[in-house]
């Protein structure tokens, strides 16, 4: 009898080594698929104790299986043998597996459109995190265009400052309702990792011509967003162009270039184009730098205009240049509102054989 109980206590319904164990029947004495046949062939009778041992063995084997209705849980990692879970539902909590669809759509990081105010955005992830963790990434469409330093608060976890990649606060317009922004938390702040290149604010490579008119004509314009210049940032403007004459005019046409900021003319250049021979071209390049002088309504301008010193035949380049003005100006334009930078060109007389052509223009944030 003692031997029987030793056998019963040592029985194991799942035999072998994980993860390759197999289920084996036993009644405490005989094992395998013919356990009862073995009992029937042996002297004596089939015992109730063996029935109980066998049923207990089945119970233990079943208890080691996962119920498909969720009645029990795994007690160890489950190797899948290179097979997949299929028909998996989308995760809705942090302790659930995500689907390939959620990963591909980036729906875990997607926070829709922010609410709140222009410089204090509120966002909500579909699966609420328990806290901010370094490396956390969120993506959303700003519900407002920011005008200064900006914060976010995700799922009411608390207010965090948003910084640019260089560690500075956001510039006005970094958040815009036409953009999708991506932020990554570094343990202290959220970092805007897809900020637009605000160093180059505008580039125009198309040609703009002014001919046969005395009307003052805009050759470059850019609206500087409110607050972008802060109290000490500035702009660098480059305008490349030429003046042309297609015939001998017999006169020296005069032109005027004006630079305006916030509707105020900051400075004016007057130049001339020698047109005493046919097909003449002369360089006319403008370079401007300005910055806010420790205030949002105080600016210093530095500007210089280069004109081809001698006219050259069409298709060639002037070999020398005359510097017309290298001046400094000051202004008190309010840059906390959208401010128009406008550069114009005007001929003193109209002639179909005389024209100005802007070759390219750009404005950079400095």
**CATH (one of 2.60.120, 1.10.10, 2.40.10, 3.40.50) for 200-365:** 2.60.120
Q: What is the pLDDT of residue 200?
A: 80
Query: Residue 94: left if φ>0, alpha if ψ -120 to 50, beta else—which one?
Result: alpha
Within a 13 Å sphere around the CA of 161, how many CA atoms are in the beta-carbon half? 12
Closest CA to 168 of 136, 138, 143, 198: 198
Provide the sign of the torsion angle of the four alpha carbons 220, 286, 196, 168, taken in this order.
negative
Maximum Cα interatomic distance, the chain, rounded to a whole number of Å: 136
Q: What is the pLDDT of residue 325?
A: 57
Q: Whole-angstrom Cα distance, residue 153 to residue 141?
A: 14
DSSP letters for 44-57: S---HHHHHHHHHH
Q: Whole-angstrom Cα distance, residue 251 to residue 319?
A: 23
Domain boundaries, the chain: 7-63, 104-192, 200-365
For the chain, the straight-line distance linking the first and the last C-alpha, in angstroms and rounded, comes to: 94
Strands 159-163 and 190-192: parallel
Please work out, in degrees rounded to the nearest 5, the angle formed at the alpha carbon of residue 204 by the alpha carbons of 200 and 208.
155
Within a 13 Å sphere around the CA of 295, how many CA atoms are in the beta-carbon half? 9
Q: Whole-angstrom Cα distance, residue 267 to residue 260?
A: 7
Name, in order, each residue with C-beta under 8 angstroms of 148's C-beta and a sequence gap of 6 or more: 119, 169, 170, 172, 227
Q: What is the pLDDT of residue 122?
A: 98
Q: What share of the chain is helix, strand, coil (3-state, %, to 5)?
A: 10, 40, 50
Give the helix ranges, DSSP H, for 126-279: none
- Tens-digit pLDDT profile for the chain (366 aa)? 444 443 444 455 677 787 777 777 777 787 877 777 887 777 766 777 777 787 888 888 888 888 788 888 888 888 888 888 888 888 888 888 888 888 887 888 999 999 999 999 999 999 999 999 999 999 999 999 988 899 999 999 999 999 988 888 887 778 989 889 999 999 999 999 987 655 788 889 888 899 989 999 999 999 998 888 888 889 999 999 988 888 777 777 889 999 999 999 998 888 887 655 566 788 889 999 999 999 999 999 888 888 764 455 544 444 444 555 556 788 999 999 999 999 999 999 898 888 899 999 999 888
Q: How far is CA 141 from the centre of its chain?
A: 10
Q: What is the pLDDT of residue 326?
A: 59
Which DSSP state fits 86?
-
Which token pair is 109? 């990081």
* Alpha-carbon dihedral 38, 42, 46, 49, rounded to 10 degrees: -80
Residues forming beta bridges with residue 339, ordered by sequence position: 224
């Amino acid at each position: 009898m003692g031997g029987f109980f030793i056998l019963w206590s040592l029985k194991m319904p799942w035999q072998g080594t994980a993860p390759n164990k197999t289920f084996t029947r036993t009644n405490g004495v005989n094992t395998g698929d013919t356990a009862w046949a073995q009992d029937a062939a042996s002297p004596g009778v089939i015992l109730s104790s063996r029935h109980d041992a066998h049923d207990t063995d089945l119970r233990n084997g079943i208890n080691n299986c996962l119920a498909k209705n969720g009645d029990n849980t795994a007690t160890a990692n489950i190797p899948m043998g290179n097979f997949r879970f299929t028909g998996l539902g989308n995760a809705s909590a942090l302790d659930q597996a995500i689907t390939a669809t959620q990963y591909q759509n980036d729906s875990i990081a997607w926070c829709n459109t922010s609410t709140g105010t222009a410089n204090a955005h509120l966002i909500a992830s579909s699966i609420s995190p328990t806290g901010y963790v370094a490396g956390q990434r969120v993506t959303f469409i700003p519900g407002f265009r920011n005008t200064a330093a900006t914060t976010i608060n995700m799922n009411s976890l608390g207010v965090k400052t948003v910084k640019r990649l260089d560690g500075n606060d956001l510039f006005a317009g970094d958040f815009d309702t036409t953009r999708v922004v991506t932020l990554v938390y570094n343990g202290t702040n959220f970092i805007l990792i897809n900020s637009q290149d605000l160093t180059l604010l505008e580039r125009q490579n198309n040609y703009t011509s002014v001919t046969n008119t005395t009307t003052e004509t805009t050759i470059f314009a850019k609206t500087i967003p409110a607050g972008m210049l802060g109290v000490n940032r500035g702009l660098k403007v480059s305008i490349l162009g030429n003046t042309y004459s297609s015939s001998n005019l017999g006169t020296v046409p005069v032109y005027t270039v004006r630079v305006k900021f916030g509707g105020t003319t900051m400075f004016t250049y007057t130049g001339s184009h020698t047109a005493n021979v046919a097909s003449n071209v002369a360089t006319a390049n403008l370079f401007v730098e300005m910055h806010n002088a420790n205030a949002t309504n105080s600016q210093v301008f530095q500007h210089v205009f280069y004109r081809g010193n001698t006219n050259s035949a069409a298709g060639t380049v002037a070999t020398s240049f005359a510097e017309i003005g290298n001046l400094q100006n000051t202004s008190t334009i309010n840059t906390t509102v959208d401010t128009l930078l406008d550069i114009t060109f005007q001929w003193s007389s109209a002639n179909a054989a005389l024209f100005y052509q802007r070759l390219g223009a750009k404005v950079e944030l400095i």
